Amino acid sequence: MLVLAGLLGSCAGPGLSRFESVLAANDSATVALGQWCQTRGIAKPPVIRALADRTAQASASPDIRAALGVRDDEAVAYRHVRLACGGTVLSVAHNWYVPARLTSEMNRTLETSDTPFGKVVSPLGFRRERLAAQRGAMVECPTGTVLSHRAMLKLADARVISLVVECYTRANISRARG
């Protein structure tokens, strides 16, 4: 189910609409942000890094556990990152994922590196199912968010590996660099 809500007034121009189109065309937000970073000339090279807050903790609520399809005794990990291209933060993301559905190497990479989740798990061939999109900030997002998404990443067998809330920053629709 896709829910579209909220309006941003001055932010609801062609820049935000183009950005939404790039996101919609990709299963991976990491890939979409890389394309956007390159197109907009935000940084060279247009490499997306996940600046992880290793101290952040957020337990999986019953709703999150239900969305992930895990029992109460199954582990759910949480990763809070700022996705940046060069020195520009494009997204703040909250990601609850099921470590048992990833390889041990993928889990190690997520725990120790600045590699974005989408890039780490890309060998699994996941598909993205957007649950909600909102212009402006969802409750989990910081002030100044221009676009919010809630999505699940699913394997070919329909098992969910991740529930993510993405909070896209105003930097995505700021004037393109020269």
- Domain CATH code at residue 39: 3.40.1410.10
- The one-letter code for the residue type at 27 is D
Q: Does 137 score more than 70 pLDDT?
A: yes
Q: Does 6 score more than 80 pLDDT?
A: no
Q: What is the pLDDT of residue 175?
A: 63
Domain membership of residue 177 (yes or no) is: no
Query: 98 by DSSP, 3-state: which?
Result: coil
Q: Give the structural domain span for 116.
A: 4-172
Among left, alpha and beta (phi > 0; psi -120 to 50; other), residue 176 is beta
Across the range 142-152, mean pLDDT stands at 96
Q: What is the pLDDT of residue 63?
A: 96
Global pTM reads 0.88
Domain membership of residue 148 (yes or no) is: yes
Distances (CA, A) of 112 to 51, 107, 133: 11, 9, 30
Under 8 Å CB-to-CB from 35, ≥6 apart: which residues? 22, 26, 46
Domain membership of residue 134 (yes or no) is: yes
Domain membership of residue 95 (yes or no) is: yes
Burial class from Cβ neighbours inside 10 Å (0-12, 13-18, 19+) for residue 142 reads: exposed
Domain membership of residue 82 (yes or no) is: yes
Under 8 Å CB-to-CB from 139, ≥6 apart: which residues? none
Residues 49/114, Cβ–Cβ less than 8 Å: yes
The CA-CA-CA angle for residues 87, 163, 139, to 5°, reads 70
Q: What is the pLDDT of residue 13?
A: 61
Across the range 59-81, mean pLDDT stands at 97
Query: How many whole angstroms separate alpha carbon 34 and alpha carbon 56?
Result: 25
* Number of separate domains in the chain: 1
Pairing mode, strands 88-97 and 127-135:
unpaired
Domain membership of residue 92 (yes or no) is: yes
